[in-house]
Structure 1
Amino acid sequence: MLGRALPNEKPEYALTAAEIRVIDQLAARAGRTPAQNPRISEYLREIARLGGYLARSHDPPPGNIVMWRGWSRLMDIQLGAELASGTFMGN
């Protein structure tokens, strides 16, 4: 996984600006403040949280199923945000 291979890369390496914006808003609503120099591993952890990952200190890294669930939920939330704001660019 990208988060394990390149955890210190910038989130723009794998996420679009819209995805980053949605993740930042979701984290802020949950009371988590974004870091000054965000890393891709932090964003992937937020995606894993959407998939049910609890992110406790003794938990192993999230697996493929949790990441898939989180990614799927993120895409649904992003679509809803685009439809609500009128910026949806569907086919």
Structure 2
Amino acid sequence: MALFLVVAWRVAHLMRLGRTCPDLHAHLFFDPDEIRAAYLLTKTRPPAQPKLNDLLRLVARLGGFLARKGDGEPGAETIWKGLTKVHVAAETMRLLREDGGNDACV
């Protein structure tokens, strides 16, 4: 139960900060691998300094947020679903980096 509370707090905190302080740098809240994974999964080119709200919208798109003109800001559920995909991709990138380029067939 305590683990779910921590995850829910992080999602709610990110959602609130993305709405109130959209110009904060994403590096303050996300690991570099998480940022890179979000941009790789959405097939978009990352800017030099990604903003928090821009990254949250990408993460929410992975969770089902459509990001249409009248949709407003993403909610907790789409951010949470997107974060699960981003975390899996970031962990995969870390494991591949630690593997050291082993030329095994996949």
Larger Rg: 2
Runs of 4+ in 1 over 3 A off after TM superposition: none
Give me the TM-score of the superposition, normalised by structure 2. Answer: 0.68
Structure 2: gaps of 5 or more residues: 1-15, 100-106
Give the number of the structure whose residues are more often helix, by fraction. 2
1:8-87 equivalence runs, <5 A: 8-27=23-42, 30=43, 32-86=44-98
Report percent identity of matched pairs. Answer: 31
Q: TM-score under structure 1 normalisation?
A: 0.78
CA RMSD of aligned residues (A): 1.8
Counting matched residue pairs gives 84
For structure 1, the residue ranges without an aligned partner over 5 or more in a row are none
Matched residues in 2 for 1:78 and 1:38: separation?
17
